[in-house]
Structure formats: C-alpha cells, structure tokens
Structure 1
Amino acid sequence: MPKDSGIGASPKRREDIRFLTGTGNYTDDININGQTYAWFIRSDVAHGTINSIDASAAEAMEGVLKVFTSADFAEAGGIPCGWEVTDRHGQPMQEPKHPILAEGKVRHVGDPIAVVVAETLEQARDAAEAVEIDIDELEAVIDMKAAVAEGATKVHDDLTSNLCYDWGFVEENREAVDEAIKSAAHVTTLELVNNRVVANPMEPRVAVGDYNRAGDEHTLYTTSQNPHVIRLLMGAFVLSIPEHKLRVVAPDVGGGFGAKIYHYAEEAFVTYAAKVLNRPVKWTSSRSEAFISDAHGRDHVTKIELAMDENHKFTAVRTDTYANMGAYLSTFAPSVPTWLHGTLMAGNYITPLIYVNVKAVFTNTVPVDAYRGAGRPEATFQLERVIDKAARELGMDPVELRRKNFIQPDQFPYDTPVAVTYDTGNYDATMDKALEVADYAGFEARRAESEARGKLRGIGVAHYIEACGIAPSNLVGQLGARAGLYESATVRVNATGSISVFTGSHSHGQGHETTFAQVVSEMIGVDASQIDIVHGDTSKVPMGMGTYGSRSIAVGGSAMVRATEKIINKAKKIAAHLMEASEADIELKDGAFSVAGTDKSVAWGDVTLAAYVPHNYPLEDIEPGLEESAFYDPANFTYPSGAYICELEVDPETGVIDMLNFTAADDFGNVINPMIVEGQVHGGLAQGIGQALMEACIYDENGQLLSGSFMDYTMPRADDMPMMNVDHSCQTPCTHNPLGVKGCGEAGAIGSPPAVVNAVIDALHRAGHKVEHIDMPVSPARVWKAMHG
C-alpha cells in the first residue's frame, strides 16, 4: 500500500489539477445546440401590488421567443419547503406559497416577476427593458419585532400575521428554567445580533434546462449541492414530472456554503421553459443578481440569560430569539433556528435546565436559510459570548469558568437537556492544546509590547460543539423533515480491477475525489489512482441527499464503506474458490488475497477478472460480476468540538482591528486526510472572521439592499486574515459510524465569531473601556463609537 493512498495520508487533491488548469466543467461551461437565454425581470421594490405587465413591445423585438409571467405557471406548484416546524402550542407553522414568478404581489427586492427568453443574452436583456410593469408600492416590513407587532402590514395577505411560528424547546422545562433563573446566585444577561450575511460562493448560480420531446425527458444542469433533492422537489411538487423522466446534473460546483442546497425558482423555470419552447434555456446569475436571489444566512436577534449557583456552576440557560425567514420559506429555513440551533444550546457544558424560544418572522427581504454551520454558529455565539461576560462579572478567567462547567470524559455518552446525546469528547484536552499552541501564558508580555506601541491587545477564547451528519431519518422525520437524511453508494469493480464509486454525496470544494478514494484504497489495498469517484448526476448515482452539514464523510463515506465491505466479502468467496480454501481463512491485504498460514495468494486483479470471466467460478453460490450498493442511515449526529483562541490589536485612535494570530484546536474524530481537513478549517475561519469583522447585509427601511455588491459588502481578503494555527491531534473517534469520523467542514465558521468578538471586548476592557458587547460586524466605526461612548 503506497503511504499516500490510504487513510491518514495527505496526498494532493487530484481534482485540483483540472481546477487550477482551467479545465473544470462548471454549469456555465455547458452549452447545448440550439440554446436560448433567459433574463429575469426582478422587483425593484420590496413590497407592492402588481397591477399589470405589458410585454407586447418586448415580444416583438428581434430574437425574443417569449416573455413568461406567473400566468404561464398556473398549473405549477410553489417552490416547496422541506421542513415543517410545529410551534410550542402544537400548531404547524404558517407556510405561504412561494411561486416561481410573483403572483399578484412582489415581496422583496429581487422577487422575479417575468422572464424574457431570446436567442442571445443581449437580446433577452434588451427586451427586458421594454417590458412595462405597473406596481403600487406598499409599506415594507423589515424590522422583525415591528413585523409581529399589532397591526403590522402583512407580507402575505392570506396569513393571519407575519409570525411563521413561535417555537419553544424544551417546552416542559419552561417553568423550571424561569424558577432557576429567579433563584440563581448570579445571572448574566446579554442581548446580541447574529448579522445577516450573503454566502457569495466563487461561482454564481447557473441553470440550464433541456428537453427531449421524443422521450418526454427533461434534463436540468444546475449548480447544486444535492441534485437528487432538486429532482424530488421540482419533479414531485412543482412541475409534476415523473422522476424517471427528469435528470438533474450538478457538474463541478465552485463553492456552496449552503446557498446551493435549495431548490430555486430559476431551476424550475428553465426546466419548464425548455419544454414550452422545445429549445434548451440557459440562465446565468450575475454577482449583483446573486445578492438579491440567493438565500441569505443568519439574521437573528437574541436575548440570552445564563444562571449560575454560588460555586459558579451553570444551572440554567434561557434564550429568546427572533429569526428572520425573509419573504418566503426556503427549503430548510424553518429547521435552522429551531432543531439545528436549540439542540446545541447546551454547548460543551453541564447545564441542567435549558429553554429556547424562537419566533420566526416573515419580512420583505430575501429568504434566509442555512449558511455554513446553520444554527450551530448562532447557538455557539450566544453561549460563548454570555459565558465571557459572566466571567468578567465574576472576576474569573474565562478559561477557568469554562473548565469548571465542561462535561468530563467519564460522563460520555452524555444526555443533554435539549434532546441530543453526545457520544464522545474531551473538552479539557482541546482547551489545553489551544492554550499551548496559542502560548496563552505568554500573552501578558505580548500585551505589554503592544501597549508600548500605543495599541490595545486582546485575547479571546471560545469553545464550540456542533451536530454534523444530520440524522437519523426516523428522528428528523419526527422533527419535521420532509425527506430522509441517509446517504447511498454503489461500488463497481471492473474486470481489470479498477473501481468506480458512485456516491449520493456531492463535492463543491471538499475534496471528495481524493478523500473518498483514500477510504476505498485503505480497505482494498489498491492505489487510489485506480479508484474513480462519480457524483452529481441523478442518472448515474443512486438516490442520495447531497452534501451539507459536514455529512460527506460521516454519512456518505459510511455508505461507501458498507458497499465496499460487500465487495470484499464477495471477492473473498471468489478468491477462496480459486485457491481451493475456506472462505473463513481468506485475508485481504495490500491488494492481494491470501490463505492464512500458507504462502497461497491471488492478486486483486485476478479475482476481479474471474468475477467477469467466470470460467473457474463458484456459480452455484453467487452471480458473476462485482458491484454492490448500500444505503447508510446514521444512528445519531456526530459531535465535533474544539477550542478557538483569537489574538488581536485595536488601534485606539481609529478603532481599526489587526488580526494577529488565530488558534484552532479541533476534535474531528478520526481524520482521513489531514491536509484537506486543515484547508477546510482555514476556509471556515475566513468566513467566520469575515462575519465577525466586516460582512453585513444591510436593508434600509424601504427594503432596499444597501450592501448589494462588493462595493458595499465587505469580504475578507488574504491580508485581512491572521496567522492560522490549526491542530486536530485531540481525537475522540465517533462511536457509531464505521470510520469513527465526525466532520470538519463547518467548524471554523462556528467557533471563530465569538472568539473574535471576545478578543475585541478583552482588548477594550484591559484598557479601561467598560464595553460589554459590540454587535457583529465589529467594524472600526463600531469599535471607536463604543470606546468613546
């Protein structure tokens, strides 16, 4: 076995060869003979009644094939929501229709009203200018608390109010939590905002619809993290296309971060329009269009209270959150502030009583859904910020307060009061490692050096836990999920011994073609170069649920392991027959089968050839061929955790923050490829630090997006990032999947925002500024204002 092929090695990502040489195959690279182009006409007001749409002039222009409006979709369903939440009174959430094109009203800037399809993109764009749309602008509902006030203008006239649901968890704890807070020796209260952000993946969304009239077959090429889910939702609920007549292909995808999980109206449109016109239809989003059409992330306003006894032990946590849904319910939006957030409010700590209340609110803004971390960053930010404030109020070191309340290794498996069970963890170990790598003990000397230069140096600590590999299906079904959350794999061994692995997971930057091959390479003993990973095409791969929630290796990889185990078991039967030995005595090592205790052996390739050329083959026992499938439905979530430490300087004259050093000590369980894991953490840290310091999606009172381009929406650049020290040596393997893995893709975005804000507040406090909190993004202007009152 070559050292760079199996589990634990760090071979370079083989998919990067095509990405770095410009030979990748992205959706926008797909062009079909006879292709036409779609241009979406979107609302420039946040809320209004559509009086009329006059497309006659546009349809008479050169190259224009048709102008579509909502009237063309009278028989179509709305874009479905994939998760139903039941409120604390036992009532289902309010679920308005989300039409493909606006019906009667527009509800956010960017809401699609009409679409021009023409022979060229330029013709479609020019014709869009000739479409006359008369809209009576209505009052926009932007502020969440105002949206649920008595007499507020409704986003959806057919709903009783703008409140989607009022969720309580755990509802039976509510009175006990109230009493614990009343009787506590100390209570720390903090009000904070988890700012709205835009995902901004490198590749904007693209959709190409094609239709084969001869077979009544539809094909959608799209930038998606889960093509099978798109096929299911669009086929069954929107366009009523049988699944065997609908193929969805997601080729190379340049980043997703959650924004490409969902089924979008543009996908349904091009699929439908291709049949109507009997021509392929292509739509490519511009970056400006993405700001008002891609699902946004976060956008919570929270009050959190932490109660402690006289020994500084946590006794209760209570939170009240307003969560913005935007104008419509995106695919998984209702689950993010509830089941992906409330179930993590125990954090890494022993807290006997927890109650989480979430009011989800409709506003005249772009829909909000999962963004890297999805609910777990929101929970972690609340908890880690209030713990830091509590430590300051108690005069304790923030590390000491956390240690005093950590769940201990001998307490696992640990049942939290918020309905989840952590299987493994060692939180003191990750904290110890972070303190060591960050040289926490040497901070005072560094602070004195900064002070001599007129700078304020601060250090911030945070500890996080997250739930990954969303599962099991029977549990999430009870919680409102309208889909299973298993994963699938088919392993096909060719006659010459090479292997094709078909996975329902999808790669959009995670390195699956490298890491998945490493797993199979380790199990069989063949070089990873002999293993091909196939994904992203519903006509090739078995039904799968795609990639999000750090589920790729824990769920998708486990399905692959199960299918490969079946392959090995069958191959052992063939090898035993070839060597005239008992199957129980057959061993597989380094790509060869041998009989235990003898010098008899047969190569992997000889066994695979025998499977397809069965001249000497146990036909009476098994069929020819060597191909197996498996579906894996996890028994539980996985629970990565880690300690993060941020060190920075603040310029007291300008409020400018200089990020100096960031340490991430994570427990990801077993690690398949350390290099790829480190890269995933780096990416997550960039997004978390970006949210903490600079990213902000800002609407004015009329619902106009003020930060709708990179001129106004600040993204972190390389020179904004600090030195990043990443360690994943503290490994407590997951106990319930065959690889012992936990997931790593979202960790950096979860643990970094509170560490950064804690560091800023620490810097200001050490300089005598009694600032308790600054909302993200912690911009220089906000820092300066906090310092100067």
Structure 2
Amino acid sequence: MSDAESADAGAADPSEHDQEAVDEDADTDAYTGSGEKRREDAALLSGRAEYTDDREPPGTVHLAFVRSEHGHADLEEIDTSAAEAMDDVLGAYTWADVEASPSPGRLQPPGLDRDVPAHPVLATDRVRYHGQPVAVVVAEDRYRARDAAAAVDVEYDPLEAVVDPETAATDSEAPRLFEAAPDNIATTAELGDRDATEEAFAAADRTVSIDLENNRLISSALEPRAAIGEFDPDEGFTVTVTSQSPHGHRRKLAHTLGVREGEVRVVSPRVGGGFGHKGHHHPGEAMAAWCARELEVPVKWTATRSGNYLEGAHGRDHRTTAELAIDDDGTIRGLRAETYASVGGYGLGSGARMPVRYGRLLSSQYAIDAIHCETRAVFTTTAPIHSYRGAGRPEAIYVTERLIDVAADELGLDPVELRRRNLISPEAFPYETPVGATYDSGDYEPAMDKALEAIGYDERTDATGADDGRLRGVGIANYVESTGGGFESGLVRVLPDGDVAVYAGTHSHGQGHETTYAQLVADALERPIDRIQVSEGDTAAIPTGTGTFGSRSTIVGGNAVVESAEKVLAKARRIAATELGVDSAQIGYEDGTFAVSGANDSVSAEAVSGADETVSFEDIADTAYGWGLPDDLEPGLESTTFYDLDGAAYTFGTHACVVAVDPDTGDVELERYFAVDDCGERVNPLIVEGQVHGGVAQGIGQARYEQVAYDDDGTLLTETMDSYGVPRAADLPSIETDSTVTPSPLNELGVKGIGEAGTIAAPPAVVNAVCDALDITHVDMPLTEEHVWRAISDQNEE
C-alpha cells in the first residue's frame, strides 16, 4: 500500500467483493495486512480536524492578490493609492516593494536549459498568464482585503498570447515569452536509442501511428492552498501551510525570502487533498511570510477557488505523435513518440522538467526492443504546469495503450490478444526497458486474466447488437507505475510509560498514514495499536524528510519507521537482558513481554533457571529513562532512520471498462469498471481500495469531463466549478476491484505504491472502450457528449 497526491483513502467501505478480498488477505495475528479502519476519519467526519484556514493566531490580518486580467501583457503602471486609503487596509505592495527588501522574491529556479528568470512572487514588468499575481493588499479581514485589491488600478499593454505548446514551439509567428528562449522551448530531452528504433521500424512489417492530446487539468482538492505567515525577529519565520512536503516548503521558502533554512519553521496541519500542486510553494505562501515581516503581525492568505484555478498550477497538457512498428503476427518491434508539453508562463519547481522524463514508462507491460522518445517542454501564456496525480506516468501509458488498440485494429487482432503476445515474461525480471527504467518484479498475465474474467470479456456480444439501440464497447488498459524514490525519515520514540510516538517526514493529505504507520510499528514492537501515535507536518519537531508524492510514502516512509522500531526493540532487548541477568541472546519477546528463553555457551543453564523469567515492555521503557542501564547504553528508547530506496518499485495492473454510447446524442454511460492492481504486499487493503477508487474517479474525470480551456487571448475560460467539469458521485460507475500480490524485492516490506494507479489506467481504458463502441480509431479526451457526437457524425460522413 502506498499513496499519491490524493485525498481518497476516506472513501466508502469497499464493495462486498472487495471486503471479501480484505478479509481473505488479513492475518488475524497482525495489524499489517488487515483492513484496519482509518483512525483519522472520526475527526475528519465530525469537523474536529484542523486545517490551515481554521487557525487564526491573535492579531491575524488577511492578504488578497491583485491578479492579471490578461494572458500576456506589459505592465504600464500600478496605482495602489485608492486601496491604501481604504479603512482597515494595512498595506499594498508591488514588485518594487519586494525588490527593495532583503528578499530575492523569486520562487526556486526550475533548472531549465534556458537562462530564463524564475517565477516572481509579484509580476515585474510583464505578466505571462491570466491570474498571475501583480500586487497584494493586506487588511484587517479577508473581505476588506478583497475589496481593496479590486480598488488597485493596473494599466496594461496587451500582447499576443499563445496557449498551445506545439504552436508556441513551431510557429515562427508565435509570441516569444523570454528572450533567452527564442523558440519558447524551456528544455528538451531524448530517451532511448534513435538509431536502433529507426532500424526496428525499417524491419517491421508495418507502422501504425496516432496523434494524441493529453488534456490540461486543474487540481480540485477539497482544500484550496492557504498559508499563515508569522515573523519573530529572534526566532525567524513560522509559516503554516497546506503542504505535501513541509521540509521541501521550508527549503523553498528560505530561498524566496532570502534567509537560512534554520530561520524558517513550516507547520502543516490537516491537508485536504494535494494531487501535486501542494508539493511546491507558490507566491501566496511566500507573500504571507514576506508581509508578516513587513507588518510585524500574522498574515493569512487563503486562495479562493477561482484563484486556485487561475494560478494553482495545472497538470498534463501534452501534444504527442506516436508510432508503433509491428509485424503481421503481432510482434511489437519498436515505438517512437514526439511530444510538445506545456510548462506554462514560468517553470514552477520540477514541473517544467517532468515532461522530459515521461517517456521512461512508454514500454508499459510490453517487451519492446527499441523505443525512442523526444520531448520539448514549451513556454505558453498559461498557468504554470506542475505535477498532477501521476506526474508523467498517465501521459506515457495513455500513449502506449492507445497505440496498442490502434495496432490491433490495423492487424484485425483482438486487442487483448495483441497485448498478451507482447507481455514481459515473469522470468525476465528485473527487466530493463530501452528507455532506462528497470522494473523490479511483475507477473502481468494473471492480473489481466482476472479483469477479463470479471467483465465477461470472452462472452461479450458485438457492440452493435444492443437491444436499447446504444453502441457498447469494452476497453482494456494495462499499466505500470514507478513508485518510491528518494530518502525518508522515520523516528520511533518509546515514552517512559510504554506508549510509542512515531514521527515521519512524509505528510498525509488523504493517504491514511496515521493508520498504516501505526499498523507497521504496532506489529514491529508487538504493541497495541491504540498505544501508537503518529505525527507529521512540523519541521521543528520531525527529522528532515522528503514528503508525500509519487506513490512513495509507504515504500520509503513505512520502511523508515519499521527500521527505527526494530532498532528500538533491539535496544529494549539488551535492557531486558540486564534486568533479567542473562545475555541478550537468551531473551525472547512476544506480545509485549520479554522472557528468558534458554542457555548458550556464555550463559549457563543454572543462571537461566535462577533468573527472573519475564519483564514487560512498560517496565523496560521505564528503566530506559531511569537507573540501571548497561554502561554502554545511553538513556532513552528511540531511534531515527533515514531510509533510502535503491531504485523504484513498479506497481502494475489491468483495468477494464464497459461503456454504452447513445449514437444520437453522444451520451456515454460507464456500465462496468473493474480494476485489478498489484502493489506488492498490502499494509491495509481497505485503504488500498480507497486509493484505487479515488484514482479511478480522477482518471474518469480526465477521460470524460475535465479540460482546462483558454481563449486565443490567453484568458482562462474554466475559472470556476461551473465551467470546469469535476465529476460528481452520480457521474461515476460502481468501481469494482481485485488484486494480485507480487512483492517488491527492493524493500523489506515488499510494498509498492498504489495512489496513482487509477489516474494512469482509467483514461486509456475509457477511451479504448468508447472507440471500440464506435468502431473508430481515436477521439481525444474529454469524451463529452459533444466530442463523442462529433466523432459519430464524422464517421457517418465518411
């Protein structure tokens, strides 16, 4: 079990099928592997959970942004005098004020090929996307702050905009966003061997190709971004913030504010969803802290929903041409892809570099000898792109899984049979792909067979034979997901009364860490789970960690806390040996009790028989903080581990979708959705199911409803939930799940990530199903009624 940028783990209990799977997998003698209900949920459901906006230090004032009305324009003049004259307004600031301060005022540079400026906290001489912060106003309450922001007068000289990344890079007439990037290209990358791929294409019986758009998305977490900045001249900054990575935020804020990391404390309380856009700081967090220092009072900023949509970092937005070299017997010889990926008006954190790595998963589950991928990350006059749940993996798998269906149609083969003929053999692992990924373990065919059997794939009827006049289709998508990466910290501290405090460098925003980490530590120490408390989110209290994203928390964070617990238990065993008067090798431990277990060469049977027989964990904890410790042991009973995973663990699975399409209206109904996922050992199957359900919901959202739209002037048209189509419960099918278990050999727990599986597999599964129903080659996402109806009309005209 692991996680991603998600807030899904509090999903409803699994279906009856799922609960049976949970019960079958559970070990009644262990917490790990059982469907332990989330301990977080009582506070979340009752309203007791505290989020950033719930906090209000004494004397707190409020910040509001003045945002650009244009997608691309020069700033002529900013007049803040009317705002400053309003009652209860404490200050109004522009870039000139930031520039005159000790702070650099720019977000951390993204490390691009081109020497372009990093994102300023307030616009300098030009705005490069609609909604870019131009000025800030601080007032006694948020309503006065917003009114004052509306009173700031900004004069613009509008410039031509460009919102399509391919146009921005290839059209010589397209406007240029930065002098240092005359072609608007931020960075480029090639993966794989171009020559070997060309040879594979030359040798193949045929080539199939497809042009794809991976639609731009907006993160719609339950909680918008928010921050409270506080400043003390002696202690520095304290910034309370909605964060997936508190220590990462500390580092980035220190850079923007121009101070040492030790002068910044980041506190992150409950976080209502992240999906990637809370993994990097934005102007709001930095300006709340900057204004707190200027005004010497706590300053709160909470993004409005529209503000979050305008400037909260978007995701995806690829234009790809992909080709498959294939023989007439279905053997895939090679794959090549060329992609233009938008990075928006500025590079934001790692978001500008993510597209150049997406090609590492183009092999998907298939043994493809030659792959070449060339990617150009391109500046456009749109909001910056950052990671969005999956962060490159959904884009890659979408390319490959759509190509497979196109190739099957070209060859007259069943798409499942074509997949089956090219699956990587279980004996081939660890398997290195031509684009640099090394899959740790896998057994793909059983998962695919489960999904096919569940939906009755072999018994399906022809799509045109539906009694109700609708066209039915079935879509299959296989996937792999790289999970883990980097180090993570885990501290386990036993208190003198035997309670256990766990501190993790990750930070949950829906993944259920308080439950899963408690399960792992409870088993490692053989303690009741209600005596384990888990804490995250305070850089002053927790060893430096990496954070929660990329389906990494249980792999690295879980292993970190377990390793610390094992070190604690080893020390406790030594203390018990001293208490009982025997060698530590003679100490057994079970259910919270240390006992003398036998003699060895250095301890006589007489000594063992004359010793006290048992001592409790609580007694050892008390002794650890008192007298009588061995001379070579320090007081205390705790351990810190920095766990570093060597490589990535690759989750995999098969998702299957059955749709019914009304040919008169283009309406699409998802009649069945079945997901089979393999994330290695599952710490908590119930939370795994919640992660799968939430991921599939987001994946269906991309496939069916969601798309960011800009007009030609760079104005965001989908600025609110009225215009941006987030799916509701009634728009989603009942999501059925099953699993296989292939442990990862790379970590002691054998776990892999699961949080992004649904966002990876659902889009190609749904699109494949609709194309099967309509008997067409391709239709771009989102599959709205209009898009599907137009595809049907175009087919009828042909």
TM-score after normalising by structure 2: 0.92
Distance in 1 between residues matched to 2:410 and 2:416, nearest whole Å: 14
Alignment of 1:330-729 (within 5 A): 330-339=348-357, 341-444=358-461, 451-470=466-485, 485-597=486-598, 600-614=613-627, 616-618=628-630, 620-728=631-739
Asked if residue 176 in structure 1 is aligned to residue 196 in structure 2, the reply is yes
Asked if residue 38 in structure 1 is aligned to residue 50 in structure 2, the reply is no
Given the alignment, which residue of 293, 309, 334 partners 1:275?
293
Asked if residue 779 in structure 1 is aligned to residue 796 in structure 2, the reply is no
Shift of 1:209: 0.4
Amino acid at match of 2:649: T
Give secondary structure in 2 for the equivalent of 1:354: strand
Amino acid at match of 1:576: A
User: Is the 2:657–2:674 contact (alpha carbons within 8 Å) kept by the matching residues of 1?
Assistant: yes
Distance in 1 between residues matched to 2:460 and 2:69, nearest whole Å: 51
Shift of 1:250: 0.8
Asked if residue 115 in structure 1 is aligned to residue 139 in structure 2, the reply is no
Aligned to 2:123: 102
Aligned to 1:210: 230
Give secondary structure in 1 for the equivalent of 2:483: coil
Shift of 1:3: 4.1
User: Is the 1:561–1:738 contact (alpha carbons within 8 Å) kept by the matching residues of 2?
Assistant: no
Distance in 1 between residues matched to 2:29 and 2:217, nearest whole Å: 39
User: Is the 1:5–1:528 contact (alpha carbons within 8 Å) kept by the matching residues of 2?
Assistant: no
Shift of 1:150: 2.2
Shift of 1:368: 0.6
Alignment of 1:134-283 (within 5 A): 134-148=155-169, 149-170=171-192, 173-213=193-233, 215-235=234-254, 237-283=255-301
User: Is the 1:5–1:11 contact (alpha carbons within 8 Å) kept by the matching residues of 2?
Assistant: no
Note the alpha carbon deviations across 1:208-234, whole angstroms, 9 max, x for none: 101123x14211011110010010111
Note the alpha carbon deviations across 1:376-424, whole angstroms, 9 max, x for none: 0000000000001101111111111111111111111111111121111
Note the alpha carbon deviations across 1:485-543, whole angstroms, 9 max, x for none: 31101111001110001100000000000011000011111111101101001111110
Distance in 1 between residues matched to 2:109 and 2:620, nearest whole Å: 45
Give secondary structure in 1 for the equivalent of 2:482: coil
Amino acid at match of 1:116: V
Structure 2: which 5+ runs fail to align? 1-25, 599-607
Shift of 1:312: 1.7
User: Is the 2:573–2:594 contact (alpha carbons within 8 Å) kept by the matching residues of 1?
Assistant: yes
Go from structure 1 to structure 2 and tell me whether the alpha carbon gap of 1:292 and 1:4 turns closer, same or farther (over 3 Å shift).
Answer: farther
User: Is the 1:304–1:386 contact (alpha carbons within 8 Å) kept by the matching residues of 2?
Assistant: yes
Amino acid at match of 2:355: P
Shift of 1:621: 1.9
Amino acid at match of 1:26: Y
Shift of 1:564: 1.2
Distance in 2 between residues matched to 1:331 and 1:79, nearest whole Å: 11
Give secondary structure in 2 for the equivalent of 1:32: coil
Asked if residue 737 in structure 1 is aligned to residue 747 in structure 2, the reply is yes
Identity of counterpart residues, as a percentage? 44
Note the alpha carbon deviations across 1:343-396, whole angstroms, 9 max, x for none: 111111111111100011001100011101110000000000000110111111
Give secondary structure in 2 for the equivalent of 1:500: strand
Shift of 1:707: 1.4
Give secondary structure in 2 for the equivalent of 1:466: strand
Distance in 2 between residues matched to 1:567 and 1:216, nearest whole Å: 33
* Further displaced range: 110-119 or 143-152: 143-152
Note the alpha carbon deviations across 1:8-65, whole angstroms, 9 max, x for none: 1112111111000000010000101111111100001001111111111211111111
Go from structure 1 to structure 2 and tell me whether the alpha carbon gap of 1:307 and 1:292 turns closer, same or farther (over 3 Å shift).
Answer: same
Amino acid at match of 2:321: K
User: Is the 2:354–2:391 contact (alpha carbons within 8 Å) kept by the matching residues of 1?
Assistant: yes
User: Is the 2:228–2:289 contact (alpha carbons within 8 Å) kept by the matching residues of 1?
Assistant: yes
Distance in 1 between residues matched to 2:592 and 2:407, nearest whole Å: 57
Shift of 1:581: 2.1
Shift of 1:94: 4.5
Distance in 1 between residues matched to 2:281 and 2:106, nearest whole Å: 7
Give secondary structure in 1 for the equivalent of 2:341: strand
Shift of 1:588: 2.5
User: Is the 1:651–1:657 contact (alpha carbons within 8 Å) kept by the matching residues of 2?
Assistant: yes
Asked if residue 323 in structure 1 is aligned to residue 336 in structure 2, the reply is no
Distance in 2 between residues matched to 1:441 and 1:174, nearest whole Å: 39
Note the alpha carbon deviations across 1:581-602, whole angstroms, 9 max, x for none: 2212323222222233589332
User: Is the 1:261–1:548 contact (alpha carbons within 8 Å) kept by the matching residues of 2?
Assistant: yes
Go from structure 1 to structure 2 and tell me whether the alpha carbon gap of 1:514 and 1:242 turns closer, same or farther (over 3 Å shift).
Answer: same
Distance in 1 between residues matched to 2:543 and 2:349, nearest whole Å: 22
Distance in 1 between residues matched to 2:500 and 2:456, nearest whole Å: 47
Aligned to 1:127: 148
User: Is the 2:695–2:759 contact (alpha carbons within 8 Å) kept by the matching residues of 1?
Assistant: yes
User: Is the 2:703–2:763 contact (alpha carbons within 8 Å) kept by the matching residues of 1?
Assistant: yes
Amino acid at match of 2:202: K
Amino acid at match of 2:563: R
* Further displaced range: 110-119 or 603-612: 603-612
Go from structure 1 to structure 2 and tell me whether the alpha carbon gap of 1:325 and 1:4 turns closer, same or farther (over 3 Å shift).
Answer: farther
Measured on the aligned residues, the alpha-carbon RMSD in Å equals 1.6
Go from structure 1 to structure 2 and tell me whether the alpha carbon gap of 1:776 and 1:81 turns closer, same or farther (over 3 Å shift).
Answer: farther
Give secondary structure in 1 for the equivalent of 2:585: helix
User: Is the 2:114–2:180 contact (alpha carbons within 8 Å) kept by the matching residues of 1?
Assistant: no
Aligned to 2:765: 755
Aligned to 1:17: 42
Amino acid at match of 2:423: F
Distance in 2 between residues matched to 1:375 and 1:695, nearest whole Å: 17
User: Is the 1:41–1:115 contact (alpha carbons within 8 Å) kept by the matching residues of 2?
Assistant: yes
Shift of 1:570: 0.6
Shift of 1:77: 2.7
**Relative contact order, CA 8 A, sep 6+: which one is greater?**
2
Aligned length: 754
Given the alignment, which residue of 326, 329, 333 partners 1:311?
329
Distance in 2 between residues matched to 1:706 and 1:275, nearest whole Å: 36
User: Is the 2:105–2:257 contact (alpha carbons within 8 Å) kept by the matching residues of 1?
Assistant: no
Structure 1: which 5+ runs fail to align? 86-91, 471-484, 766-770
Amino acid at match of 1:453: D
Note the alpha carbon deviations across 1:176-207, whole angstroms, 9 max, x for none: 21232133112110111100010100011111
Distance in 1 between residues matched to 2:259 and 2:187, nearest whole Å: 32
User: Is the 1:39–1:124 contact (alpha carbons within 8 Å) kept by the matching residues of 2?
Assistant: yes
User: Is the 1:342–1:379 contact (alpha carbons within 8 Å) kept by the matching residues of 2?
Assistant: yes
Amino acid at match of 1:295: A
Amino acid at match of 1:384: E
Amino acid at match of 1:532: Q
Give secondary structure in 1 for the equivalent of 2:336: strand
Amino acid at match of 1:144: P
* Further displaced range: 116-125 or 527-536: 116-125
Give secondary structure in 2 for the equivalent of 1:640: strand
Distance in 2 between residues matched to 1:277 and 1:655, nearest whole Å: 57
